[in-house]
Amino acid sequence: MPDRVVICECFARDGLQHEDTLLPADRKVELIDAFTRAGFPRIEATSYSHPARIPAFADASEVLARIRRRPGTAYKATCPNLRAVQRAVADHEAGYGTEELSLLVSATESHTERNLRTTRRAQWDAVAGMVAEAGGRFRLVGVISMALGCPFDGPVDPGSVIDDVARFAELGVTHVALGDTAGFGTPRTVRDLFRRAAALRGVTPIAHFHDSRGTGLVNCMAAIEAGCRWLDSALGGVGGHPTQIRYGGGYTGNVATEDLANLLEAEGLQTGLDLDAVAAASRLCEAALGRELESRVARAGYGHLPHRETIHA
């Protein structure tokens, strides 16, 4: 199989949305700049969520205006509604916008109501308007939450998820993240879903897995076996859902980037990352949140990878 994968570092958005502590803009800029130095080709930098609902991203425009960008890195912001896209367009026209926007739907009605405060039908109508408002300025990334099971509505029909992927593609959104938002996926269900998604012409499926039940890394490998080459992760395995929405006992963290990069490189898959710089970014993330995070590699160091430092002495 082709030996190059694309990792999107999600600490600054999906990671921080789960935190009770609000980091100042200065610290976020420092972290995102560290991710840039590590060579991530995609970085989820912020969200245009309503500041009253998710205060962690009230400084979205300030952060985007201050980060140091490099050629070859695409910065992404999450947009839950039309007003969010309008803010993204304004920042783009001001000269400090993102290259990518995430547009959100959920595979289930109950999660749609809790997370987006609407219905699936209304959210799909909104997505169509958001695509039009974006006006071709960005790479648009569709995000389907609860694609492998929902704590509120139970098992999810994979055929319905594939219909959602196709619906995004019809709108011109050909990069689609399939989110195992509550960590119900297994290698068998992941392989099945991603093989079906990869069979859709022109679609680039993205694996976005949470490690709620310890299956995140094996599910990433299953997605790769099914043809996926784009993956999301977060340093330290942080994140999962906004603080006001709880499921899985509140434990819904992302796959840890340190662990994912170590596994992929050990398997001969090229990430393009400077793993020593990833180690440095890992330390910065722990310092920013003031605690040990969930990465195993952050404790044990990289595996049989030559010329790599141990992340923590």
Domain borders along the chain are 6-300
- The per-residue pLDDT for 305 is 76
Please give the full DSSP string across the chain, using - where no structure is assigned. ---B-EEEE-IIIIIGGG-SSPPPHHHHHHHHHHHHHHT-SEEEEEE---TTT-GGGTTHHHHHHHS---TT-EEEEEE-SHHHHHHHHHHHHHT---SEEEEEEESSHHHHHHHHSS-HHHHHHHHHHHHHHHTTSSEEEEEEETTT-BTTTBS--HHHHHHHHHHHHHTT--EEEEEETTS---HHHHHHHHHHHHTSTT-EEEEEEB-TTS-HHHHHHHHHHTT--EEEEBGGG---S-TT---GGG--PBPBHHHHHHHHHHTT-B----HHHHHHHHHHHHHHHTS--S-SHHHH---S-TT---S--
Compute the average pLDDT of residues 239-258. Answer: 72
- Kindly report which listed range (150-159, 225-234, 245-254) carries the lowest average pLDDT score: 245-254
- In the CATH scheme, what is the homologous superfamily, with its name and number, of domain 6-300? Aldolase class I (3.20.20.70)
Q: Is the pTM of this model over 0.75?
A: yes
> To the nearest whole percent, how much of the chain has pLDDT over 90?
87
- Kindly report which listed range (16-20, 162-166, 190-194, 282-286) carries the lowest average pLDDT score: 16-20
- The per-residue pLDDT for 243 is 54
